Amino acid sequence: MRKTVLEAVGLRRAYGPVQAVDDVSFRLAEGGSLGIVGESGSGKTTTARIVVGLEHADGGRILVHGRDRGDRVRGRARRLARAREVQMVFQDPFLSLDPRTTVGGALRETLRLHFPGADHGRRVAELLDQVGLGAREADALPRQLSGGQRQRVAIARALAVEPAVLVLDEAVAALDVSVQAQILNLLADIREQSRIGYLFITHDLGVVRCVTDDVVVMRHGRIVEAGPTAQVLAAPEHPYTRLLLESVPRPGWDPQGIAAARRAL
């Protein structure tokens, strides 16, 4: 059995009277891929931000390799080590990349912060090669790249610190379908090579089916169903999971009927 690299235990997060995340627990195995799926407002992105550390939970714990990320750490080196454990790739890389810094410069800046004694030039070339980019892209600004290329840069920057877990928040949602497939294939290759764990946050069941081993279905901040992806998608037990599957457009699809069924849940 593969060891657990990430564990969420009883996460809770409220915004006033709204319980955005309510007693959410899951595990991610080393080299595994877990999808968190649900509609907008289901709490999946808030869960991801808690995992990364961009938001604080009102209750519960996040553990990486058994260590509680909520424990206070002292010293710059230990804080940087904790930051390296979990990295995030956002939906829109253009907003997360400095528009005035070249791709190579962005990667070197990350490496200088976390690995000041390393050979940054060689490592930048390795990272770009890993995501299918080269010297031409290294000298480019983000605005000079396509959406797919920018997302590859964002992935390379996240991988630069050698994280145990990569959180991907709707990371292919803004891309054309053909480019989505390229990025998903790239991520599959990286996972196979590095044994990194993926946490996919998405509303797209096609993405979930293609790239995850296990899936968690969220609604109104709570988990309504969880299990192996193939099993959950082939024989969903919860009405909401069935509704999500029925909401995927196909011949004979009835959007009005789906909307009425959603209101009835």
pLDDT tens by residue, 29-42: 999 999 999 988 89
Interval 136-177: pLDDT, tens: 999 999 999 999 999 999 999 999 999 999 999 988 887 888
- The residues near 188 (Cβ < 8 Å, ≥ 6 apart) are 211
* Residues 195 and 38 sit within 8 Å (Cβ to Cβ): no
CATH domain 4-97+162-233 topology: Rossmann fold (3.40.50)
CA distance 97 to 115: 20
What does the pLDDT read at residue 69?
85
Angle, vertex CA 72, rays to CA 70 and CA 77, nearest 5: 115
- Within the chain, all domains assigned CATH 3.40.50.300 are found at 4-97+162-233
**Which pLDDT score, from 0 to 100, does residue 258 have?**
43
| Mean pLDDT per 10-residue interval, the chain, length 265 residues | 90 93 96 93 94 93 90 76 89 85 95 86 93 94 93 94 93 84 91 92 88 95 96 93 78 48 53
